[in-house]
Structure 1
Amino acid sequence: MKKLFLYLSAFLVLGLPGLANAADDSKFILLSSTIGPIDSGIVDVLENSFEKETGIRVRHVGAGTGLALDIARKGSVDLVMVHAKSLEEKFIQEGYGTQRIPLMYNDFVLVGPAADPAGIKGMKTAAEALRRIAEKGAPFISRGDKSGTHVAELDLWGKAGLKPSGPWYAVYEKGSEGNAPTLKYTNQKGAYTVIDRATYLSLKDQISLVILVEGDEAMLNYISLIPVNQKKFKTVNATDTMRFVNWLTNAKKGQIIIRDFGKEKYGAPLFFPNSEAWQKTKGK
């Protein structure tokens, strides 16, 4: 109950989205997840499928990767699902997490107005495109919230050899609410941004922005699981958490759901399985 109280307190104090009927018994898992997978719907599908098979409930709270890890540092959750390697490694080095476990990936894309005033369409690398955007002073929107998406964006600027600043580079004041609100705001401003493909596909019928740069290996977006260290917090439900982790990474269970998610609705998967078990079997 202490863990649940801390979890609910974090939700109320931080105003985080995504809490779904946390249970009051010992047979549940609390997940702190980056917002993108939640917005896409895949987190709910995975949680519900696992509960149907095992009877173990999983409930989640959504936050940018930095904040999702901070929630876990308070001992409020059992597991995190995040996508910023440098932040993940620090979390583990500090003793809060046990290990980084590959789960799935998609990719980031650079989107902007169809008219493409910066002239970046078709460029092979994000670094080249970002340099052009900076040279032209074309409006660019950043989440600016230390989320996985923000960290990835800054890494791409680093590869471009730039530290973006100036009136053309704006931080969305509500960026911590997630990629979907950020993309909608970018659309309103007729600007450029770096966003994950899943968010773009889920909103493409509601916006006029188009994908201008894609396929750069530097834009791959790897999503990991990190169990919270029970040695740090006795309230962590390590047994059920590892059962969930093993189910998610199983090549014939969670990974199959990930492989097929989005195909029917969008004509293409939103994520690609990436667990060690999947890599060994190649999904066969």
Structure 2
Amino acid sequence: MKLGTIIAATLLCCSALTAQAENMKMAVTTSFHNSGLADVLLPEIEADLGLEVQLLVVGTGQALRLGEAGDVDAILVHSKASEEKFVAAGYGTHRREIMYNDFVFIGPSEDPAQIKEAQSATQALGLIAEVQAPFVSRGDDSGTHKKELSLWAAAGVDAEQRDVAWYKEAGAGMGASLNTASGLNAYIMSDRASWLKFGNKGALALLYAGDPDLFNQYAYLPVNPAKHPHVKADLAQKLETWLVSPRAQALIDGYTLEGGRLFTFNAQ
């Protein structure tokens, strides 16, 4: 074999190894992962960018803590107030909105609290508390849990009123919490995507949706290399550029289940 051919082959091999070494870590919410959208996006990201995105699937609170510790290169979560604090404290370089869906209230199809008749999300929770119908909370400091607690507060139902006899904290992700609600035939607040993807619905049904307060925005936050010089800021930027592209928009808006769109792209 000629020397030039050997050198070319070696360079090609090194190039392939370099391409395979392109990887980064991103913390994402369990609701995003449970929706199945990650299974759609990740192979396309790898094909388009040669970038393997390794997911750490946790609640929003834990995802933010991973970012604060510099254990991931970026996060994709859904709790705006917490995200803004993360950026303001210098842990994230910025916050970029990517897509949204909504929260919904799930419960027993017979609907003992009659939340189908509610005029607002807070009224629905008030009705559940009034009859002390079983309610499962994620109880895991996730974005969904944070939102649920803010709605209870707006409904005037404090922690003492949420008695353990009917208010159950699962301390788990969305899928596991939905399983608990199905087993107890209880009410639960879920993001719409996780509910549509959930396969163990039992006697549960989607009973209430549509309040603007149930809007659920997902945002991308690169971890700040000024805080953690080891993070792969260049790859985080590469991924962000892809996530806000027409390519990503087509995949996100095109992801449907049971005839319904699970997420709506709204990146600017």
TM-score (norm 1): 0.83
State the identity %: 38
- Secondary structure at the aligned position of 2:226 is classed as coil
User: How many Å apart are 1:197 and its aligned residue?
Assistant: 0.6
Per-residue CA deviations over 1:145-188 (Å, capped at 9, x if unaligned) read 1100100101111221221421211111xx33x10110110011
Q: Are 1:103 and 1:275, in contact at CA under 8 Å, matched by a contact in 2?
A: yes
**Partner letter of residue 113 of structure 2?**
A
Aligned partner (choices 111, 126, 129) of residue 106 of structure 2: 111
**Partner letter of residue 96 of structure 1?**
Y
* 2:266 paired residue number: 274
**Partner letter of residue 182 of structure 1?**
S
Q: Are 2:100 and 2:215, in contact at CA under 8 Å, matched by a contact in 1?
A: yes
**Which stretches in structure 1 are left out of the alignment for 5+ residues?**
1-22, 277-284
* 1:69 paired residue number: 64
CA distance in 1, matches of 2:230, 2:106: 43
CA distance in 2, matches of 1:103, 1:248: 7
CA distance in 1, matches of 2:175, 2:143: 14
Is structure 2 residue 183 aligned with structure 1 residue 191?
A: no
**Partner letter of residue 256 of structure 1?**
A
User: How many Å apart are 1:269 and its aligned residue?
Assistant: 1.1
* 1:238 paired residue number: 233
User: How many Å apart are 1:44 and its aligned residue?
Assistant: 2.9
* 1:255 paired residue number: 249
User: How many Å apart are 1:26 and its aligned residue?
Assistant: 5.0
User: How many Å apart are 1:208 and its aligned residue?
Assistant: 2.0
1:1-284 matched pairs, under 5 angstroms: 27-164=22-159, 165-166=162-163, 167-172=165-170, 175-176=171-172, 178-203=173-198, 206-250=201-245, 252-262=246-256, 265-276=257-268
Q: Which moved more, 1:236-245 or 1:115-124?
A: 115-124
**Partner letter of residue 51 of structure 1?**
E
CA distance in 1, matches of 2:200, 2:258: 11
User: How many Å apart are 1:204 and its aligned residue?
Assistant: 5.3
Q: Are 2:68 and 2:91, in contact at CA under 8 Å, matched by a contact in 1?
A: yes
Q: Are 1:104 and 1:275, in contact at CA under 8 Å, matched by a contact in 2?
A: yes
CA separation of 1:204 and 1:213: change in aligned 2, threshold 3 A: farther
**Which stretches in structure 2 are left out of the alignment for 5+ residues?**
1-17
CA distance in 2, matches of 1:244, 1:79: 9
**Deviation beyond 3 Å, 4+ runs, structure 1:** 23-26
Q: Are 2:138 and 2:177, in contact at CA under 8 Å, matched by a contact in 1?
A: yes
CA distance in 1, matches of 2:67, 2:204: 35
Q: Are 2:134 and 2:168, in contact at CA under 8 Å, matched by a contact in 1?
A: yes
- The structure with the larger Rg is 2
TM-score (norm 2): 0.88
CA distance in 1, matches of 2:181, 2:142: 17
- Secondary structure at the aligned position of 2:261 is classed as coil
- Secondary structure at the aligned position of 2:113 is classed as coil
Structure having the higher strand fraction is 2
Q: Are 1:124 and 1:214, in contact at CA under 8 Å, matched by a contact in 2?
A: no
User: How many Å apart are 1:56 and its aligned residue?
Assistant: 1.6
